[in-house]
Structures are given as structure tokens and as C-alpha cells.
Homo-oligomer: A and B are copies of this chain.
Amino acid sequence: MAEALTVRQLAAAIEAQARGALTLELRGNPDEPIDRVAPLESAGPGALSFLSNPRYRRAALESGASAIVMAAEDADALQAGGARGTLLVCVNPYAAFAYAAQSLAPVEVLQGGVASAAHVAPSARIDPTARIDVAAIVEADAVVEPGARIGAGAYLGPGAHIGARTRLHAGARVMAGCRVGADCILHGGAVIGADGFGFAPFEGRWVKIPQTGRVVIGDDVEVGANTTIDRGTMGDTVIEDGVKLDNQIQIGHNCRIGAHSVIAGCVGIAGSTTIGKGCQLGGAAMILGHLRIADGCVISSGTLVSRSINERGFYTGFFPFMKNRDWERNAAVLRQLDELRDRVRQLETRLKERPDMPHAARDDS
């Protein structure tokens, strides 16, 4: 745990990290010491908590937190309701909380240098302020920029390039020639730059198309554990700045993921698809190949996207779950849905043939 800060110091730290984009108003004791963050329910003395949803005002009232960050209207309501703790008021309490958590997290002091049991090729260029941990492997001509850390047993292929302050956790791998920008985090087991899946069918077999492109990752990108990103066939696979990828994701060759898009676990994106900027893909969504998804799209978990999406919006397509016996009945009808539609059409036709029956207002299908 880091040393405690006063609420006033913490507010200043948050504002500094947000580079002026957040302003905090302090209500209560500015000297209250804070040494950690905690959820409302489990917070005790020394903890900062946050309230971002008015539904949890009661939990905030009852919380043991030394301070809580929240929006002005929540603060007003809580104080009207008798809250006595220290409040930090801000238009984006969740972001403020994130910055507070960063300020209070233990600071890792990086000691530059190469661990004695690391394997670094003579032609690799390692900045003296970067750290290569035990059993890490850095192949020929790889470059590691200032302040980066290549974790235990991690791997950099020939010519791989790792930007400043980027962290590879134990066992992350960046294959030959791939580039990772600055301030990125790659978690254990991630594989950046395996071959794309490209084969030409020929005489009942599959002829491999050499995958000679790269993966190019921008700045401030996070790649989850055991996530895989394939290198391009000829051009590159590109992950733009600020993208956040969860665990167990697969991104095919020649995809482009737009800046600041966020992709939850178990998602698959087939080759040559472009995801716009600022998209959000729910867990286990599957995006087919050679598609374009517009900027700002939200795709629900478990949704398979089979066509390009040209319009920003919220898209969904999964089978709602139900009791198995209900599913069995519904699935049986679903298998003959076109027939059910035909039967409705027939009924409509038969009623139309009776001039004394009122007509349907809509029969456009």
C-alpha cells in the first residue's frame, strides 16, 4: 500500500492526472487521510469510495469510507439526508475514482537493466532505463525503449519493437518484426504476431500463404491474458491508440481496431475486418471477416455480426435463454418459422376473400 494522502492532496493528484479536465470540490475535512480505495460496502477508515449511480445513495450513507467521490446532485442529496463524511464532488466521479486508485496504488520502482538469467541477443538495443526480467528472451535486433519492462519469461522476436514505459507481463510474446507503442500493457500468454490463417484450396489440400505482414500496436493499449493478434498477410494488422482488449480474444490478420475501442473477453474478429473508433464489443461477440463496423458502435455480448454496420448504434443478436423445456418447445417452432409465416399469410388471404370481413391494416409481407 502507498503512503496515505490527505483528501486535499488526493484531489490535487486526481486533477493533475486528468490534466485539468476534472475539477474536484471538497466538502468536509480536507485533512482526512486516505490510503486506499474500496467499494462502498466494505470501505472503512482510510478508504476512498465512489458513488456513480443514485441507486446506491443509501449504501453511500451507510458506508464506512473516510471519503466518497460523487456528483454534485448526489452530494446534495446525501448531505440533505444527514451524511457527515468527507465528500469529493466532481462531474465524472468514476474517472476521478480511477485516477485516485492510480494515485494510491503501490508505485513500482523500475530498476533498469538485464537480469542475469535473461537471454538477450547481442544486436538487441535495450535502453538502460528499461528492465529485462529473469528468463526473458530478446532476439536479434529487437528494440526496448526507456522505462519499458519485459517480464519474466516474456519473448521478443527478432526486430520486435517495444515502446517507452510499456510492460510485458510474464510470458507475453511479441513475434518477429511486430511493434508495440508506448505505455502499453501486455498480459501473460498474449501472442502478438502469430501467422494469420491464410490458405488457398488446391487439390483437396490447403496451400499456406506466407504471412509476411506485422502487427502494429499504438500507444496506451492493453492486451489481455492469452489474447492473440495475428500478423497481416501482406500489410499489417493495426491496433490503434487507446484500445483495450480483454482476455482470450482473437484478432485475425489485417484487421484494424479503431482508437479507444474496448473489446471484452472471448471476442473473435475474423480477418480483414475494420472496427471503428470508440466501439464497444461485449464478451464473446463474433465479427466475421472483411467487414466494416462504424465508429461508436456498441455490440452486445454473444452477438455474431455477419454484415458491415454503417451506422453508429446498439446492435444485438443472441438467443434469449430460458428454462430448457421452454427452449425445446420454442426451438421446435423456430425450426419451422417460415411455415408459420405462410400459415398466417393463408389466414389473411382467406379472410380477405370474404368481403364482409374487415381488412388488415398492414399486410406488406
Chain A residues with CB under 8 Å of chain B are: 18, 21-22, 37-39, 42, 92, 94-95, 97-99, 101-102, 105-106, 117, 119, 134-135, 137, 139, 152-153, 155, 157, 169-171, 173, 175, 185, 187-189, 191, 194-195, 197, 199-210, 212, 220, 222, 224-226, 228, 230, 234-235, 242, 244, 246-248, 250, 252, 260, 262, 264-266, 268, 270, 278, 283-284, 286, 288, 298-306, 313-344, 346-348, 350-351, 353-354, 357-363, 365
Task: For the complex, give the distance between the alpha carbons of A90 and B40 in Å.
Answer: 53
* CB pair A306 B321 closer than 8 Å: yes
Task: For the complex, give the distance between the alpha carbons of A73 and B315 in Å.
Answer: 42
* CB pair B350 A350 closer than 8 Å: no
Residue of B nearest to A137 (CB): B152
* CB pair B153 A155 closer than 8 Å: yes
Q: How far is the CB of A15 from chain B (nearest CB, A)?
A: 13
Q: How far is the CB of A300 from chain B (nearest CB, A)?
A: 7
* CB pair A317 B306 closer than 8 Å: no
* CB pair B304 A203 closer than 8 Å: no
Closest 10 CB pairs of A and B: A317-B321, A95-B202, A194-B225, A302-B304, A98-B200, A316-B327, A266-B268, A105-B210, A329-B338, A191-B225
* CB pair B264 A270 closer than 8 Å: yes
Q: How far is the CB of A261 from chain B (nearest CB, A)?
A: 9
Task: For the complex, give the distance between the alpha carbons of A354 and B353 in Å.
Answer: 14
Chain B contacts of A194 at CB under 8 A? 169, 187-188, 224-225, 247
Chain B contacts of A170 at CB under 8 A? 137, 155, 157, 173, 175
Task: For the complex, give the distance between the alpha carbons of A170 and B153 in Å.
Answer: 11
Task: For the complex, give the distance between the alpha carbons of A39 and B213 in Å.
Answer: 12
Chain B contacts of A98 at CB under 8 A? 199-200, 202, 207-209
Task: For the complex, give the distance between the alpha carbons of A18 and B200 in Å.
Answer: 12
Chain B contacts of A248 at CB under 8 A? 226, 228, 248, 250, 268
Task: For the complex, give the distance between the alpha carbons of A248 and B286 in Å.
Answer: 13
Chain B contacts of A225 at CB under 8 A? 191, 194, 228, 230
* CB pair A318 B343 closer than 8 Å: no
Residue of B nearest to A304 (CB): B302
Q: How far is the CB of A193 from chain B (nearest CB, A)?
A: 9
Further 13 A-B residue pairs, CB within 8 A, beyond A98-B202, A317-B319: A98-B199, A102-B207, A119-B135, A135-B135, A155-B171, A205-B220, A266-B266, A268-B283, A284-B304, A286-B302, A317-B320, A319-B334, A339-B362
